[in-house]
């Protein structure tokens, strides 16, 4: 199959191929990127039932209709720092390795229209997912370079049925772009692969918002699965023999999984809002990574490794989030959050492109009302993944046994989001 997508996002490759969305592994289980604004970064994405302002157009468009009159737009930039992942082979059969440090600057845009009767419209341009990993030693056999970038355009419309209940619907348009490069010695041959591809793919999102009292808000949001149908060109070469094996069209399908959020927010004394969010991400849609070529007839001997499907068999995963927003005074709003994020990836199919594990996420942030129309702010997030340990009982046969008794550690991500909101 082929390659493509997110930066955002960023997507996922497999032990010999590509794939992957949101950044990803950036800061969520798998390759999703749930933080796409000041508030969502500062609150560890515990920002559904208490969504307000321009970025509500993405995180809970049904809440837009309860905002004050007038329109708003927000422009943000997020700096992402991914640490070097340390790989150690406890058997000593493979050389220890470390991935490259990665740095990105990701923009996002949100717009909320003025009220149109009981309706409101929104538009967000964000990076929903992505992945990038580069290894120079043992890991380069599957991920010398493994990059997936994505951009999503998400127009939404909301309607207030009464003073307590509203609903919203939106369309998702995702453009993805991917690059996969790898080198490996197999059967006495040095094999090289160079893949590039992109695609446009489509989905939808839904939201419901219920305010039984002024202090209590309940919300449900759902984002549909989007199958990335990446098409591009592949170039495979036996470098020792100097023989081109394949140059031509290639394609691959990789899912951006569906996600369901259930959230409740309560405001104490008109100043402090606590929000709890349960997120279910349907990663079980990612069953295998299988590249398809127009004419793979020449893939004989070791080169057949580039055409064999790779099992992924991911599981649906849960994320538990809590966010606290405190209005210090008429000018300052303070925020903090925490999340526990489960990995969807089983150890038996783990690979260098995404050595994922459970994560603890911590965040803080603040907003300052500079003037009646202008609000500025920042969010700072730290994501620390658990050490990933594999052993023979996990049954991972990838990378010629490099995962049989190994550790991936020091996997961290730091996000700094800064931006400005203008109301009109």
334 vs 264: CA distance, rounded Å? 19
Nearest C-alpha neighbor of 104 from the set 140, 77, 128 = 77
Provide the residue range defining the domain that includes 308. Answer: 38-423
Asked whether residue 311 is domain-assigned, the answer is: yes
As beta bridge partners, residue 75 has 109, 420
Quote the percentage of the chain above a pLDDT of 90: 52
Nearest C-alpha neighbor of 255 from the set 199, 211, 217 = 199
Asked whether residue 124 is domain-assigned, the answer is: yes
What is the pLDDT, as a whole number, of residue 284? 93
- With bands split at pLDDT 50, 70 and 90, how would you rate the model's confidence at 138? confident
Q: Where are the beta strands (DSSP E) in 83-188?
A: 86-89, 97-98, 102-112, 119-126, 131-133, 145-160, 165-186
3-class state of residue 254 by DSSP: strand
Asked whether residue 127 is domain-assigned, the answer is: yes
What is the pLDDT, as a whole number, of residue 57? 97
Asked whether residue 172 is domain-assigned, the answer is: yes
What is the pLDDT, as a whole number, of residue 296? 60
CATH number for the domain that contains residue 296: 2.40.160.60
What is the pLDDT, as a whole number, of residue 22? 33
Asked whether residue 148 is domain-assigned, the answer is: yes
Asked whether residue 58 is domain-assigned, the answer is: yes
Asked whether residue 14 is domain-assigned, the answer is: no
CB of 91 closer than 8 Å to CB of 404: yes
pLDDT (tens digit per residue) in 334-367: 999 999 999 998 988 887 877 889 999 999 999 9
pLDDT (tens digit per residue) in 146-166: 677 889 999 999 999 999 999
CB of 80 closer than 8 Å to CB of 104: yes
Mean pLDDT of 318-338: 97
Asked whether residue 17 is domain-assigned, the answer is: no
Q: How many domains does the chain have?
A: 1
229 vs 173: CA distance, rounded Å? 13
10 vs 313: CA distance, rounded Å? 20
């Amino acid at each position: 199959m082929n390659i493509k997508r997110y930066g955002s996002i960023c997507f996922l490759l497999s032990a010999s191929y590509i794939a992957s969305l949101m950044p990803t592994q950036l800061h969520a289980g798998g390759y999703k990127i749930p933080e796409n604004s000041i508030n969502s970064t500062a609150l560890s994405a515990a920002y559904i039932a208490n969504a307000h302002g321009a970025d509500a157009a993405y995180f809970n468009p049904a809440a837009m209709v309860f905002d004050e009159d007038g329109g708003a737009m927000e422009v943000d930039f997020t700096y992402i720092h991914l640490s070097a992942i340390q790989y150690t082979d406890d058997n000593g059969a493979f050389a220890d390795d470390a991935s490259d440090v990665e740095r990105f600057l990701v923009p996002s845009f949100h717009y909320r229209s003025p009220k149109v009767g009981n309706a409101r419209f929104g538009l967000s341009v964000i990076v929903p997912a992505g992945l990038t990993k580069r290894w120079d030693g043992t890991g380069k056999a599957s991920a010398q370079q493994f990059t997936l970038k994505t951009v999503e355009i998400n127009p939404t419309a909301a309607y207030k049925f009464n003073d307590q209940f509203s609903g919203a619907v939106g369309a998702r348009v995702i453009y993805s772009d991917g690059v996969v490069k790898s080198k490996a010695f197999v059967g006495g041959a040095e094999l090289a692969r160079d893949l590039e591809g992109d695609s446009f793919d489509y989905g939808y999102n839904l939201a419901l918002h219920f305010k039984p009292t002024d202090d209590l808000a309940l919300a449900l949001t759902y984002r549909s699965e989007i199958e990335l149908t990446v098409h591009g060109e592949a170039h495979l070469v036996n470098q020792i023999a100097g023989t081109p094996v394949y140059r031509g069209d290639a394609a691959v399908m990789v899912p951006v999984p569906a996600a369901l959020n259930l959230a409740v927010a309560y405001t104490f004394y008109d100043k402090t809002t606590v929000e709890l969010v349960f997120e279910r991400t349907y990663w079980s849609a990612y069953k295998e990574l299988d590249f398809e070529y127009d004419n793979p007839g020449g893939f004989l001997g070791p080169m057949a490794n580039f055409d064999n499907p790779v099992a992924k068999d991911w599981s649906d995963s849960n994320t538990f989030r809590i966010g606290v927003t405190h209005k210090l005074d008429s000018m300052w709003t303070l925020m903090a959050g925490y999340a526990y994020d489960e990995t969807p990836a089983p150890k038996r199919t783990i690979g260098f492109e995404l050595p994922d594990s459970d994560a603890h996420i911590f965040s803080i942030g603040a907003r300052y009302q500079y003037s009646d129309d202008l609000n500025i702010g920042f969010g700072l997030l730290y994501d620390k993944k658990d050490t990933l340990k594999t052993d023979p009982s996990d049954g991972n046969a990838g990378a010629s046994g490099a995962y049989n008794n190994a550790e991936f550690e020091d996997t961290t991500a730091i996000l700094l989001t800064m931006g400005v909101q203008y109301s009109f």
